[in-house]
Amino acid sequence: MIAEIIAAGSEMLTPHRQDTNSLYLTEALNDLGVQVAFKTIVGDNLAHLTSAATIALARADIVLFSGGLGPTEDDLTREAAALALNITLRRDPAILEALAKRFAARQIPMPPNNAKQADVLTGATVLDNKNGSAPCQYLDTTLFSSDGPSLRKIVILLPGPPKELKPLFAEQVVPLLSASLPPRFLAKRQLRMALIPESTVDARTSPIYKQYPDVETTILAGSGEIQLHFLSAKPSLAEAQARVDELTGRIEAEMDDAIFSSHGESLEDIVLLNLGIRDLTLAAAESCTGGLLSERLTAIPGSSRYFLGGAIVYSDALKTSFAGVPADLVATWGPVSEPVARALAEGIRTRTGASLGISITGIAGPTPGTGPDAQKPIGLVYLGLASATSTEVKELHIAGDRERIRFWATQHALELIRRSLL
């Protein structure tokens, strides 16, 4: 069974509003084992809506409409769905009465326009909307054609406001849909890797996942991270889980310690988890990232047990006074240098009493460095990681703008800490 979502509303064809209902609906449908094959956004225009509805009915088994169920001239979803299905609308007395009561309760006369909210696709089930005036309509029907086979179609009209659509769908539509669809159980897994090119991940993993056509594999790349999502739908949960586990097991063996998480945890989560397992603490001295690494770590609840804190040492003077970097080291080599990264990591470790000290110093651009750093390229970043026994320094060349260089520097720092704890 495949679905199409039609989001009705001219506002979503402007640069100001986005269709977010379809994201919610897609996830809920996937959980029922239904794949969303098409999404359409249409303005409040009867001809356009009817055309979109006709196309959707020809190519999808389940067609969901969001919005356009209000009382105004531009709320046309009911009319368009009826035209595309070639059926009539009936005016429902119970809805009409409920509408009248809503207005009476607010002591205002009901405008005649509102009556059209009681128009229901003939044959549809009406699902009460606790949070608004437009009820949901659910039609499970058969479309007969003169030249082809007759086809089952499920058509669902949902109100546009997310606060109305979501509870209606979760509480009333999901039970109806799951009762009328073949039982399907979903198993999902997610593997995450940092700082590896997407093409490398795909080259190494596609020979494996291509052997599992019944498991949907998606590669998502972004912000120094690659995610592999696996989804299997089967008549039993055990079957679905077994397929996903077998595939993820083989991919874990191939990518080995490049994988930092296999159940959806973030890189920050994993770093803190591994510090906890080894009973270690961490402190940070950040220059070009201005506290971004500390922010990412402290965003995780409970991080205070393993992340002690640190210092933002943006100026040369604070590198010396806060983290004990010898002033002549900065003057000779420049703040963005191997010796300074090393001294910063060691200095913050000793001053805070942490087991590990991490330092980040770099040129985020777009303006070049000063003094001894004037000739160094933008994107040059040094990381230092100091422990009681040794200090490791890493030189990075990060491409992109200031925002990207700063974020990737923290991503590399987290990955450096993670790998040191393996």
Q: How many CB atoms lie within 10 A of CB 292?
A: 20
For residue 186, list its beta bridge partners. Answer: 233
Please report which residue ranges of 266-337 form alpha helices under DSSP H: 267-277, 292-298, 316-323, 327-333
Structure tokens given for 208: 């494996």
Cβ neighbours for 256, distance < 8 A, ≥ 6 positions apart? none
**Identity of the amino acid at 259:** I
Stretch that binds Mg ion, among 27-35, 60-68, 96-104, 129-137 (CB under 5 A): 60-68
Considering only residues 65 through 84, tell me which ones interact with Mg ion, judged by CB under 5 A.
67
Residue number with CB closer to Mg ion (134 or 259): 134
Phi, psi of 378 (to 5 degrees): -65, 135
Which of ligand ATP, Mg ion, none lies near 33, with the C-beta cut-off 5 to 8 A by kind? none
**Identity of the amino acid at 203:** A
Instruction: Report the C-alpha dihedral over residues 160, 161, 163, 168, rounded to 10 degrees.
Output: -20
Residue number with CB closer to ligand ATP (159 or 357): 159
Q: How many CB atoms lie within 10 A of CB 54?
A: 14
Question: Reduced to 3 states, what is the DSSP secondary structure of residue 65?
Answer: strand
Q: How many CB atoms lie within 10 A of CB 299?
A: 10
Which of ligand ATP, Mg ion, none lies near 7, with the C-beta cut-off 5 to 8 A by kind? ligand ATP
By the rule CB under 6 A, 92 interacts with ligand ATP:
no
Considering only residues 197 through 226, tell me which ones interact with ligand ATP, judged by CB under 6 A.
none
Task: Spell out, one character per residue from 6 to 35, where the chain touches ligand ATP: x when CB under 6 A holds, - when not.
Answer: -xxx-x-------xxx--------------
Which of Mg ion, ligand ATP, none lies near 4, with the C-beta cut-off 5 to 8 A by kind? none
Structure tokens given for 106: 């607010």
By the rule CB under 6 A, 67 interacts with ligand ATP:
yes
Stretch that binds ligand ATP, among 1-9, 48-56, 185-193, 371-379 (CB under 6 A): 1-9
Work out how close the CB of 19 gets to ligand ATP at its nearest, in angstroms, rounded to a whole number. 4
Considering only residues 111 through 140, tell me which ones interact with ligand ATP, judged by CB under 6 A.
132, 134
By the rule CB under 5 A, 369 interacts with Mg ion:
no
Question: Reduced to 3 states, what is the DSSP secondary structure of residue 136?
Answer: strand
Residue number with CB closer to Mg ion (43 or 276): 43
Furthest-apart CA atoms within the chain: distance in Å: 89
Residue nearest ligand ATP by beta-carbon distance: 70
Structure tokens given for 410: 């923290």
Work out how close the CB of 20 gets to ligand ATP at its nearest, in angstroms, rounded to a whole number. 4
- Residue 172 near residue 124, CB atoms below 8 Å: no
Answer for which of 40, 50, 66, 289 binds ligand ATP (CB under 6 A) is 66
By the rule CB under 6 A, 276 interacts with ligand ATP:
no
Cis ω before 366 (30° cut-off from 0):
yes
Answer for which of 9, 135, 334, 369 binds Mg ion (CB under 5 A) is 9
By the rule CB under 6 A, 161 interacts with ligand ATP:
yes
Give residues in contact with Mg ion (CB under 5 A). 9, 67
Give residues in contact with ligand ATP (CB under 6 A). 7-9, 11, 19-21, 66-70, 75, 132, 134, 159-162
